[in-house]
């Protein structure tokens, strides 16, 4: 029970990494609240895990502020936040619209910022608050046809480092996780429409030392460490959980 007694809010919690993190945190004794924009899936997660949940889009400042206020009240306080909401965009730069660029930055960078800001007062009251931002290996090494995604996730890593400095006096630690390829619906969507699906998948794997996708639990374990007291002396880090791509 590595999180016994901790109260943690998780965004993007209806599927993929966010849902796996919620499931693991519940098993480890945390009181968990979930936020996601997918009303049907977040309701299913709420019922199955027997936790508090709210439907809200992280890009909507008023909606996310209200949702975080409600979830903090339901939990009786807030000790940690995991920002797992995110979207991808596979588009050559010359074909990318301004609206697409703005949407990717809104979800992947501005959204986590607004979540952290809305949760800040409660995290400061905790005295041992934690922020874990799910960034990407694309923040450390770029990918072709993902200009907006790479820029947003690199920005999220630097936002995390800046928060670690600004919030240290409030007893809040901030860290980022940079996943590689993780077997989630978002990852599968990135190559399943290719004319030769197997060849596209092989090209992706060629970038990595470990020649298979990670599991959502691989990232959840990293989030567990960074949320627990085991990482009490860790802040401002960008932990690569990426099958070796960051150095390969």
DSSP secondary structure, 177-204, as one string: EEE--B-SHHHHHTTTTSSSHHHHHHHH
Q: Which residues are CB-neighbours of 136 under 8 A, at least 6 positions away? A: 86, 149, 150, 153, 178, 179
Helix axes 111-126, 147-166, angle to 10 degrees: 20
Structure tokens at 194: 């290719």
Sign of CA dihedral 89, 183, 60, 43: positive
**Catalytic annotation on 225?**
no
Per the listing, tokens 């009303």 go with 39
The answer to whether 125 touches 167, Cβ cutoff 8 Å, is no
Q: Which residues are CB-neighbours of 143 under 8 A, at least 6 positions away? A: 149, 150
Query: Which of 149, 187, 191, 208 is flagged as catalytic?
Result: 149
Q: Residue 155, SS3? A: helix
The answer to whether 84 touches 21, Cβ cutoff 8 Å, is yes
> Active-site positions?
149
């Amino acid at each position: 029970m590595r999180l016994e007694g901790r109260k943690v809010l998780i965004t993007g919690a209806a599927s993929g990494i966010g849902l796996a993190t919620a499931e693991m945190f519940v098993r480890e004794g945390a009181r968990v609240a979930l936020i996601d924009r997918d009303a049907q899936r977040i309701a299913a997660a709420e019922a199955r895990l027997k936790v508090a949940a709210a439907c809200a889009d992280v890009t909507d400042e008023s909606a996310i502020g209200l949702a975080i206020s409600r979830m903090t009240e339901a939990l009786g306080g807030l000790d940690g936040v995991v920002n797992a909401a995110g979207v991808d965009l596979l588009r050559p730069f010359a074909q990318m619209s301004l609206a697409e660029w703005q949407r990717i930055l809104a979800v992947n960078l501005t959204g986590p910022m607004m979540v952290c800001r809305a949760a800040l007062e409660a995290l400061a009251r905790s005295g041992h608050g934690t922020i874990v931002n799910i960034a990407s290996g694309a923040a450390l090494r770029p990918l072709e046809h993902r200009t907006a995604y790479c820029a947003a996730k690199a920005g999220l890593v630097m936002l995390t480092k800046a928060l670690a400095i600004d919030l240290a006096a409030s007893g809040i630690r901030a860290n980022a996780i940079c996943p590689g390829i993780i077997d989630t619906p978002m990852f599968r969507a990135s190559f399943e429409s290719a004319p030769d699906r197997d060849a596209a998948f092989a090209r992706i794997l060629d970038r990595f030392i470990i020649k298979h996708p990670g599991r959502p639990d691989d990232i959840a374990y990293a989030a567990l460490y960074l949320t627990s007291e085991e990482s009490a002396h860790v802040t401002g880090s960008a932990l690569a959980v990426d099958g070796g791509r960051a150095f390969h």
